Amino acid sequence: MAFTEPTTYKRSLIPFLDRSHSIAKPGFSRWLVPPAALCVHLCIGQAYAFSVFNLPMTKLIGISQSAPEDWKLTQLGWIFSLAIFFLGVSSALFGRWVEEGGPRKAMFAAALCWAGGFFISAIGVQIHNLWLIYLGYGVLGGIALGIGYISPVSTLIKWFPDRPGMATGMAIMGFGGGAFIASPLSVWLMSKFSTPTHIGVMETFIVLGVVYLFFMLVGSILVRVPPAGWAPAGYVAPAQTKKLISKNDVFVYDALKTPQFWLIWWVLCLNVTAGIGVLGQASAMSQEMFPGHITPIAAAGFVGLMSLFNMGGRFAWATTSDYIGRRNTYFVFMVLGFILYCTVPHAGSTGNVALFVICFLIIISMYGGGFSTVPAYLKDMFGVRYVGAIHGLLLTAWSAAGIFGPVIVNYLREYNITHGVPKAQAYNNTMYIMAGLLVIGFICNLLVKAVDARFHMKDSTEAGSAAAAAAAAAKA
């Protein structure tokens, strides 16, 4: 399926960043675009590893142990929460700007915000002002997360019309993999900059800011959009159209009026809720369900293994969706997830550690797969033109799930323990509730049908007015 690019663009202060300057010349290999996307996603994926700074930042004054003036863990926890909140807000607010301005401008903006967030936070650490860190990493960094996350999505889909799931899966896999690099790198940098009288958090923030700025700028230089009408050599769009793969585009804000958007919103939200709750509690849960069998060191290894499956699942499931279809992929998540969540209490009661580990590794791979498959699902439903912006709006489901998941797991555990349930069985109800959530997700996914033709864009309506507005701006 060849796509159409708008013929007029708004000019920016730095013309190099304009979409028109990033159109690929003949001979450009589309396989250069995934590394460009990974340059951004590997950097912003650092967010998952921010917790490595929490403990050192509670001892910035006391050094060997926390002093009364030092920050508390509860205060520091807000940094990550703010960043995830602003991820959802910025991806929803700036989605259309990202789509119309092009990936290079968006990646450049994300690079400045992300590095700027680290530099402001470094000043915050130096003068011991937590509000500056909230502003730097939380607000500015969160905006970078939102813009950076959605920046390469539609570009990759346009370059890989034959394998959109695999293409976006590669980028979103990078977001999962960013923590693998950031976590050991941050620990190593802090050890190098720390002295007996100083903890090297400030210096680490500065080095990370510089490194991430460099990587993300390379990504923005490398990225290209395909010329209008481009299609891969030998690619023939399927002659027989599938019911759930639309060839028509839907304008970003019209997508919000369709039931399909909200059904997919709930599918993503429920799939992520089920995964995120156990991801955050995996270490404690494994030790409490198997006391004496899983030590704290083994539990840390289990968490590491889960991170690998989270990353691998992003690529594997999104690629699979190119062959079996997006809706069917989510059916697999819901049905297999239901079976696995119901199996976990049995694994706990029989002391079967291997079964427990296998269940959670598959569950977490599907959690990652839920994130990476959804852009292609949206492209199937709403077309290519505004898929990045619509994806940005959909990421609010992630923010919501980030609240629901941990709340369900933590509060149910507390409730069970205060009502006399042994710790080893305290998670059983939670597992059944997660399985129940997936049943609701299954029904939502079942209700997804093709978008009604009245929502399809016509050149005389939004596309026309957008092009006219762009032309007017270019003249001015």
Residue 36 touches other proteins, criterion: CB under 8 A = yes
38 binds other proteins (CB under 8 A): yes
Binding mask 112-141 vs other proteins (x if CB under 8 A, - otherwise)? Answer: ------------------------------
List 174, 277, 392, 441, residue binding other proteins (CB under 8 A): 174
Q: What is the CA radius of gyration of the chain?
A: 23
- Tell which one of 13, 15, 27, 233 touches other proteins (CB under 8 A): 27
Among 80, 302, 315, 330, binds other proteins (CB under 8 A): 302
User: How many whole angstroms separate alpha carbon 460 and alpha carbon 476?
Assistant: 23
CA–CA distance, 9 with 470 (Å, rounded to integer): 6
The residue among 245 and 298 lying less far from other proteins, judged by its C-beta, is 298
Which among 179-187, 341-349, 396-404, 461-469 is the span making contact with other proteins, rule CB under 8 A?
Answer: 179-187
Integer Cα distance of 465 and 459 in angstroms: 8
| Three-state secondary-structure class, residue 55 | helix
CB of 363 to other proteins, least distance (A): 16
Distances (CA, A) of 201 to 125, 186, 205, 379: 7, 9, 6, 42
Contact 241, 5 (CB under 8 A): no
- Residue 42 interacts with other proteins (CB under 8 A)? yes
* Residue of 62, 304, 422, 464 interacting with other proteins (CB under 8 A): 304
Longest dimension (CA), the chain: 73
Q: Which class for 248: exposed (0-12), middle (13-18), buried (19 or more C-beta within 10 A)?
A: middle
Which residue(s) pair with 456 in the sheet?
250
Stretch that binds other proteins, among 173-181, 275-283, 363-371, 387-395 (CB under 8 A): 173-181
Name the token pair of 333: 């998540």
Residues that bind other proteins (rule: CB under 8 A) add up to a total of: 32
Q: Which range, of 123-131, 250-258, 262-270, 306-314, touches other proteins by CB under 8 A?
A: 306-314
Q: Which of 6, 116, 280, 301 binds other proteins (CB under 8 A)?
A: 301
- Kindly write out the interface string for residues 307-346 of this chain, putting x where it contacts other proteins by CB under 8 A and - elsewhere: xx--x-----------------------------------
Write out the binding residues for other proteins, residues 369-428 only, by CB under 8 A.
Answer: none
DSSP structure string for 235-289: ----SS--TT--SS-B-HHHHTTSHHHHHHHHHHHHHHHHHHHHHHHHHHHHHHH
298 makes contact with other proteins (CB under 8 A)? yes
Piece in contact with other proteins (CB under 8 A), picked from 29-37, 137-145, 238-246, 369-377: 29-37
What are φ and ψ of residue 456, in 5° steps? -70, 145
Phi and psi (nearest 5°) for 72? -95, 155
Q: How far is the CB of 43 from other proteins (least distance, A)?
A: 10
Tokens at residue 244, please?
């759930």
| Positions 184 through 203 that interact with other proteins (CB under 8 A) | 184
- If DSSP codes are grouped into helix, strand and coil, which group holds residue 458? coil
Among 112, 222, 417, 471, binds other proteins (CB under 8 A): 222
Contact map string, positions 136 to 165, toward other proteins, x by CB under 8 A: ------------------------------
Residue 420's CB is within 10 A of a number of other CB atoms, namely 6
Least distance in angstroms from the C-beta of 300 to other proteins: 6
Nearer of residues 37 and 144 to other proteins, judged by Cβ: 37
Q: Can you tell me which of 52, 93, 181, 446 binds other proteins, judged by CB under 8 A? A: 181
Distances (CA, A) of 174 to 149, 177, 192, 311: 10, 5, 27, 7
Q: Is 35 in the site for other proteins (CB under 8 A)?
A: yes
- The partner residues of 225 in beta bridges, in order of sequence, read 23
Residue found by looking up tokens 């159409």 in the block = 4
Q: Is 292 in the site for other proteins (CB under 8 A)?
A: no
Residues that bind other proteins (CB under 8 A): 27, 29, 31-32, 35-36, 38-39, 42, 174, 177, 179-184, 218, 222, 294, 297-302, 304-305, 307-308, 311, 357
